[in-house]
Structure 1
Amino acid sequence: MKKKIRNRLLGLLVVSLALLALVLGATPLLKAQKEKQQLAEEEKKFAEFFAWRNQ
């Protein structure tokens, strides 16, 4: 009985650690993608401004 409980707890621990590693690994990628989108929006605004100014 104790061995079953121990194995289930270890399995749960392994799964939770795997999910934690996945989340921690994905966070920088998501931040980088968000920064790229913000830079693209800023570049678009600058391009529109300079196009308007040069008319």
Structure 2
Amino acid sequence: MSTDKDDDLLDDDFTAEEEAPAPIEQAKTNLGKRRTIDNLLEERRLQRQLMDFDYDF
């Protein structure tokens, strides 16, 4: 009888471990997307500053 309970506990633990990596991967992709967007915005800001810069010395 105790082996049936132990098997049920092991099965529950296995599914919990199986589901854990998915949110971590999602967080990594979201962070990567955010960094890409931040880089594009920074590039636009720098381009605007160059356009506004007065080159007359």
Task: Specify the TM-score bucket, using the shorter chain as the normaliser.
Answer: 0.7 to 0.9
Identity, % of aligned positions: 15
Residue segments in structure 2 that go unaligned for 5+ positions in a row? none
RMSD: 1.9
Q: Quote the residue 2:4 is aligned against.
A: 3
Which structure carries more helix by proportion? 1
The structure number with the bigger radius of gyration is 2
Residue segments in structure 1 that go unaligned for 5+ positions in a row? none
Normalized against structure 1, the TM-score is what?
0.73
Equivalent residues in 2 for 1:1-55, closer than 5 Å: 1-53=2-54
Letter in 2 for 1:25: Q
- Number of residue pairs matched by the alignment: 55
Normalized against structure 2, the TM-score is what?
0.71
